[in-house]
Amino acid sequence: MCLIKPGQSGECRVRINVDGVLRTVVYGYPCSIHIDPVEKKPLFHFLPGTGILSIATAGCNLHCLNCQNWQISQANPEESQAVFCPPGKLVELANQNHCPSIAYTYTDPIVYYEYTYDSAKLARDKGIRNVLVTAGYINEEPWKRLLEYVDAANIDLKFISDDLYQRICSGTLKPIQNALVLAKASGVLVEVTNLVIPTLNDKPEQIRELAHWIKANLGSDTPLHFSGFYPQYKMKNLPSTSLQTLETAREIAISEGLDYVYIGNVRSKEGENTYCPNCKNVLIERKGYTILQNRLKDGRCPDCNKEIYGVWK
Amino acid sequence: MTRRKFIQKLITAGSVIIAGTSWLASKAAPRKFVRAFRVKKYPGSLRPLRDVSKQSKWSG
């Protein structure tokens, strides 16, 4: 929790204390609005093949040394260009472009909380679904309130170690684990992303511990994406993650009992597809963000009829 | 003062102390939820909304 003195901003840079009143400087002012494939979030079990209107404002309440979006997440709003797009306009844009959902992403919707909340509420009223792509570093009460209007979330579980969260991200592990559990318990479609960083969190025992925690606390049906690291921002001294490391991570996670494990940021034929956890047949075949084949029938495997975790329409 | 009256005074005083302490504690504890108010003007520069159909370069 930030204690913000009058005239100062919080760690995120976009929430400030003006004469004892907390103010957000980015409400309605996204620095980025694009339509992305939903698979890019990454979300593989939510409305596959659709476009998702994706927004972000400047700022973030974490300061990850390896942030891929640091130009906007670690930016001061005074130095950040934005567009004026209040919640009503945002929802209108989604409708005009035939996007069935809106993603609050790129930086972290937690720091533009009020803008996310009001937009999500309005979008829900108009039949548009809401997706959060977040590091999950938020307290319980605001998280519970926001989740009421959220349909799906990709939440980073960057490390299974509190020490690494503190050293690399200037955060802590426990609030994120709590946020994950609460999101899943609230009925939100949850997918987890773990960025595999060579020498930091790529050891088999770390992967095993992470997968074990997900299975025990979120359920074996929770999709897990292992993402390849590329040297970025303040972590340019480490090499990129090899495909072999990612494939090993995937094998470990599957052996720990997770049903859906993917590889991202690096091309991997098997790691991009969805397989039935029961009969192992391919259900959704992907190439990058493109769906080549979707064999699901009413959210079930067409071969063994197993119900597949996801929001399919 | 009878013993009964003394005990009643003691209970009253104790209740006041407990209620007062609880009130102070609730004031001292941080609020669990604070909604931030908007500012009137964005502190950075603004640009017109352009075509949104192009995929973003950002991760996520």
Comparing A3 with A226, the larger pLDDT belongs to A226
**Residue A313 in domain:** no
Q: Is B42 on the interface with A (CB under 8 A)?
A: yes
For residue A279, the distance in angstroms to the closest alpha carbon of chain B comes to 31
**Residue A312 in domain:** no
CA distance readout (Å), A102 to A31, A127, A156, A312: 15, 11, 19, 16
pLDDT of residue B26: 73
For residue B48, the distance in angstroms to the closest alpha carbon of chain A comes to 6
**Predicted ipTM?**
0.92
How do residues A253-298 score in pLDDT, each as one tens digit? 999 999 999 999 898 889 999 999 999 999 999 999 999 999 999 9
The strand ranges marked E within chain B are: 37-38
**Residue A306 in domain:** no
Work out the average pLDDT over A131-144: 97
**Residue A116 in domain:** yes
pLDDT of residue A3: 86
In the predicted model, is pLDDT for residue A187 greater than 80? yes
CB A202 within 8 A of CB A249: yes
Confidence of residue A153 (pLDDT cuts 50, 70, 90): very high
What is this structure's pTM?
0.92
pLDDT of residue A2: 81
How do residues A63-100 score in pLDDT, each as one tens digit? 999 999 999 999 999 999 999 999 999 999 999 999 99
**Residue A87 in domain:** yes
Cα distance between residue A2 and residue A9, in whole Å: 9
pLDDT of residue B27: 73
Q: Is A142 on the interface with B (CB under 8 A)?
A: yes
Q: Is B47 on the interface with A (CB under 8 A)?
A: yes
pLDDT of residue B23: 83
How do residues B5-57 score in pLDDT, each as one tens digit? 999 999 999 999 998 888 888 777 777 889 999 998 999 999 999 899 999 99
Contact B52 A41 (CB under 8 A): no
**Residue A301 in domain:** no
- Domain hosting A27: range is 23-294
What is the number of structural domains in chain A? 1
Q: Nearest residue of A to residue B60 by CA position?
A: A41
How do residues A168-184 score in pLDDT, each as one tens digit? 999 999 999 999 999 99
Work out the average pLDDT over A245-250: 98
What percent of chain A is predicted at pLDDT more than 90? 97
Specify the residue for token string 């609005």.
A33
**Residue A311 in domain:** no
CATH of the domain at A240: 3.20.20.70
For residue B32, the distance in angstroms to the closest alpha carbon of chain A comes to 6
**Residue A3 in domain:** no
pLDDT of residue B31: 77
